[in-house]
Amino acid sequence: MTRHKICYLLCLLIGATFLCGCDKDEDHVMIRVANRSNVEIGSVLVKFPSQTEMYGHIAPGIATGYRKISKAYSYAYIEAIVNEKQAVLQPIDYVGERLLSGGHYTYALTYNPDATEIFTRLGLQFEKD
């Protein structure tokens, strides 16, 4: 092989390594949802500032897989169905909040069985994993 071809191949390998190394999960906001209740939380939908993710049904004590989220805060709008009742977490605004930096996070949901209002049935605990 000529010296030119070797240099060309070396440049390709270095470039490919660089590109692969820059797209690690740690460089992105990765969010999962955990069910910390003793009942299934169904049809979990999370609306982030720039995307909506359907996390689906989550059994008690289980966490979903992580999803890559382009923009997120420590809380979000969340809809779910629990015991055949709609439950909603509704942020008022994100004033004073900072966007999350790259890393793995969990929105841990709890269910309040005594709640009579749609907006008080779910609780949210934010966790940095």
Every domain of the chain and the residues it spans: 25-128
Q: What is the structure's pLDDT at 25?
A: 53
- Contact partners, residue 90, CB within 8 Å, separation at least 6: 77, 119
Which CATH architecture group holds 25-128?
A: Sandwich (2.60)
Question: What pTM was computed for the model?
Answer: 0.80
State the DSSP H helix or E strand holding residue 122, giving kind and residue range, or none if neither: strand 122-128
Q: What is the structure's pLDDT at 16?
A: 45
Q: What are the structure tokens assigned to 3, written together? A: 């010296």
How confident is the model over 49-88, as pLDDT tens digits? 999 999 999 999 999 999 999 999 999 999 999 999 999 9
Question: pLDDT higher for 35 or 9?
Answer: 35
- Contact partners, residue 49, CB within 8 Å, separation at least 6: 71, 72, 73, 94
Q: What are the structure tokens assigned to 46, written together? A: 């999370």
Whether the pLDDT of residue 4 is over 80: the answer is no
